[in-house]
Amino acid sequence: MSKIPLAALLPHEITKALNLAQEFRGKQIFKWIQKGTIDWNEMTDLPGSLKPEFASKADPRTSVMESLTGEKDISYKIRIKLFDGLYIESVLLVDDQERKTACLSSQVGCSMGCVFCKTGTMGCIRNLGAHEIVEQFHILVSRFGEISHIVFMGMGEPLLNLDEVRKAIAVFHHPLGKNISLRKMTISTCGIIRGIKDLALHGPHPRLAVSLITADEETRKRLMPCSAANSLEELKGALSLYQKETKKWITLEIVLLKGVTDREEDIRKLINFIPPLRASVNIIPWNPAPGLPFKRPESLRIQWFRSRLTEAGLVVTQRYQKGNSIDAACGQLFVTE
């Protein structure tokens, strides 16, 4: 990359990167970039004499949207080409109250290898830079207008690229930018213990969602190779630490695979796993993906599973199908180039 990417630099970092004599210029440039402006000529409060120099040194955006697909005005998937020719996918979700949520990727592909996830078949090609994470959001905003919520649930494991995710969160949260509350940002992880502890002790403290999938240790190891080094006991300890430091509830995500994670024993072990954590359970009926040998449970089975958890006094939500027809649902993101 020949130019300095600016999308994830804070005002003082822009001042330093561009060797600006006046600190307020860094703030001006930051505000323009966080508005999604990519043309230096449109930054009207900057001196015209300085714009050619800025343009030669720095790039407000390094990524471009290649394609867009949509599903019934409730979900949209964009394919983004990065500066080096690699591709990622990002998703916009719209709920019943027309609240918009950006689902952002943190890596090109994913190294976790969860056997029920299409993204995992790609392996991890590389981490995204913080600017590439922020640029996904800017591209979605440029197409769909203001977005209130962010989830790091796209391609990749966010806690394996934590430094860059941290930088992106700092930009999203900055008062001169979008000023998005940490309560409106969620990191979803496969359960990387060292990353959870790092977040707990050093921040930031967004909402945390964990792909528990099942509380049956052996089944989890078969489905999620990363769990061999991240046992349920150690994971629960890390989640307890996160809760102690943040005072926030945690979401445990359960992917229902027919005959695999929808069993009586899965219910029993999940009920036993949770206390004393303050955690809600998000049930996600499996989203089919080509080449993967699983099935979604029937509707009655899903209802039975949810009812059993509710009867046990757990707080339960269900992820309804969004994006399935355009391969934009959880576990379906995948690029071949």
- Active site members: 89, 330
Tokens read off for 160:
């394996």
- Which H helix or E strand runs over 124? strand 123-127
Tokens in use for 304? 């039975």
Query: 295 — phi, psi (to 5°)?
Result: -135, 150
Nearest residue to 3 via CA among 62, 82, 52, 49: 62
Contacts of 135 (CB under 8 A, 6+ apart): 7, 61, 62, 63, 80
Q: Which amino acid would we find at residue 287?
A: N
- Whole-angstrom Cα distance, residue 299 to residue 145? 35
> Which one-letter amino acid corresponds to residue 27?
K
Residues in the chain: 337
305-309, Cβ contacts within 8 angstroms, sequence gap of 24 or more: 305/256, 305/262, 305/267, 308/267, 309/267, 309/270, 309/271, 309/281, 309/283
> By C-alpha distance, which of 281, 226, 286 is closest to 255?
286
Under a CB-based contact definition with an 8 Å cutoff, are residues 172 and 150 in contact? yes
Write b or e for each residue in 295-310: b if 16 or more Cβ atoms lie within 10 A of its Cβ, otherwise e.
Answer: ebbeeeebeebbebbe
**Phi/psi of residue 270, nearest 5 degrees:** -65, -45
Residue 168: C-alpha distances to residues 165, 187, 242, 336 (Å): 5, 12, 20, 26
